[in-house]
A and B are shown apart, each in its own frame.
Chain A
């Protein structure tokens, strides 16, 4: 498996009045071709910031990439300027977000929004690299003269375009796609809008799909449907997926590899079976024992004590040390490094010996 995305020594900080907050701190991460990678962590661990920096959507300012590189295929995405990165954003690298309703435009029909995405892909393929902001308007104008004054001002997409839209809606298992086409986002349920988002993202035939908490706003039965769909699509359209989630259980169900983040740093990186059968970092095992799994009278939860460190004041040593049940003297003096501690199993912890 070749490497698709290589993040090296990436640090991202948010400028605040009280000083910079380092949300991502010296992160190294590699994503392979056809891999389903899950980045897991609690709120504030920097997992979303990591995702946004890959696709160049960090709000700058206040965000600032302090150092490091994000190498996608052969391009360093960090060094690209605003227009250049648009050739990658939403096309080579697509993203779906937690709130599907806020990522769709409320004033255009579902079919038109997917059609726009397809048109963008076509114009990109035919060599027009940049797409101007009036694209949607032009999509409409082109069809406006054929417009018939029916009750709903119904306009029609060209039939082959419509067919392609329907094909994508079918791909994400939307029932009655020819009717859904004419609906507005608010007329669909949460699970359906998220599937529309996935359809739009996939219509770009992206090599990498970033999914930031795609099922957090959904119910469990819908979540199961959406995750199952994503898992199937990775095989069908050959896309790598980077799933950002707070839910270890979700990661365990779908991912090939799991990366655990804490306070802006990667603390553990392992294949999914290894991580759950043999969690090496105390934070990972702490998180696992936080998930209630037994019944009331025969199980005990062991919460991680304390709370997240303040990211404004860079601490010396391991950031988890104040909450760690195994903390030693060295933990508060020296930062551990992410080192290979087993087959494809990297851990950043002093418990497994000093670095040499």
Chain B
């Protein structure tokens, strides 16, 4: 999709299936079923850019992030990070993590409640990077400063911090080792609007300063629009639309993307888009998804072919990919 030389992360048909527990009867002949959380995702993230994965709960965006971050083992497909294929069992995780870090949604649970801020930030510098104590201390101090916290925060415990401050500490910890890729899993969803704005601004500043690459997982279209250069829209385990943010947000072509964008409330009482949206139904079961295009039961354009054939991502304009049989109808 993107120019290979500047691609930092690439997935090819990445899949993650979770087995569904069978009933209690050991003689049950029911076949093993799977939740297909990520069902063949191919994305590429360019160096120094932000790629956003947008979708509703259960669409597999967090599972995709966790699979990329090697926190769960992929069921199939390939994963390339910095030009190297990552093969389970043949890689040294700590090698990967020196260049790939993650910031989680809930700052509360991503910090050890008994560790002072300085220890939280410094731990990966000791353990992962094997830096000298003196270097670590300097790095902790510098990264605190970078995220806009004064030096006296170093001695505080997480419970003495507000939600926004905790998220700043989590960001400081992620960037302290100077990774090339930071995976941001809903970094501002647990925060208030005014704090969210502070954190988003901070993330953009850090990206400019250190040429960081972000993989941003979010359900919030406005956040994706503000943060990302590229957007991939996921639905029920598949990417249904992918392209430059401007194109996807202003001219969405997949019926689901159109519905998703028009369902996101705009803070303007003069354009009451919310009351005009016509999306029916809900996200399908991931165990028994509809056949063909998974969006077909909710799609206003669905016809016979949609229930029989799975649409593939096709390039409709340079860099803009859509997986829909009737993409011509949404032009």
A-B contact pairs, 28 of them (CB 8 A): A189-B282, A189-B283, A191-B282, A219-B283, A220-B219, A220-B260, A221-B259, A221-B279, A222-B56, A227-B274, A228-B275, A228-B277, A246-B193, A247-B265, A249-B267, A252-B267, A253-B272, A254-B275, A276-B267, A287-B193, A288-B267, A292-B226, A293-B226, A295-B245, A295-B249, A301-B201, A301-B226, A307-B164
Q: Is the CB of B193 within 8 A of A290?
A: yes
Q: Is the CB of B259 within 8 A of A291?
A: no
A189 contact set on B, CB distance < 8 A? 282-283
B280 contact set on A, CB distance < 8 A? 225
Interface residues of A in 234-266 (CB under 8 A from B): 246-250, 252-254
Q: Is the CB of A307 within 8 A of B204?
A: no
Contacts A219-B219, A248-B193; is A295 near B265 (CB within 8 Å)?
A: no
Q: Is the CB of B277 within 8 A of A296?
A: no
A-B pairs, 8 with minimum CB distance: A292-B226, A303-B197, A249-B265, A290-B197, A224-B263, A219-B56, A42-B192, A249-B267
Interface residues of B in 230-274 (CB under 8 A from A): 245-246, 249, 259-260, 262-270, 272-274
CB closest residue in chain B, given A227: B274
For residue A299, CB closer than 8 A to chain B, the reply is yes
Expressed in whole angstroms, the Cα–Cα distance for A79 and B195 within the complex equals: 38
Expressed in whole angstroms, the Cα–Cα distance for A192 and B283 within the complex equals: 12
Expressed in whole angstroms, the Cα–Cα distance for A248 and B282 within the complex equals: 25
Expressed in whole angstroms, the Cα–Cα distance for A250 and B222 within the complex equals: 13
For residue A26, CB closer than 8 A to chain B, the reply is no
| Chain A facing B: main interface SS | helix
Select A303's contact among B201, B227, B259, beta carbons within 8 Å: B201
Instruction: Report A's interface with B, CB cutoff 8 A.
Output: 42-43, 189, 191-192, 219-225, 227-228, 231, 246-250, 252-254, 272-273, 276-277, 286-296, 299, 301-305, 307-308
Select B193's contact among A42, A253, A254, beta carbons within 8 Å: A42
Q: Is the CB of A295 within 8 A of B226?
A: yes
B307 contact set on A, CB distance < 8 A? none
Q: Is the CB of A304 within 8 A of B268?
A: no
A247 contact set on B, CB distance < 8 A? 193, 265
CB closest residue in chain B, given A253: B274
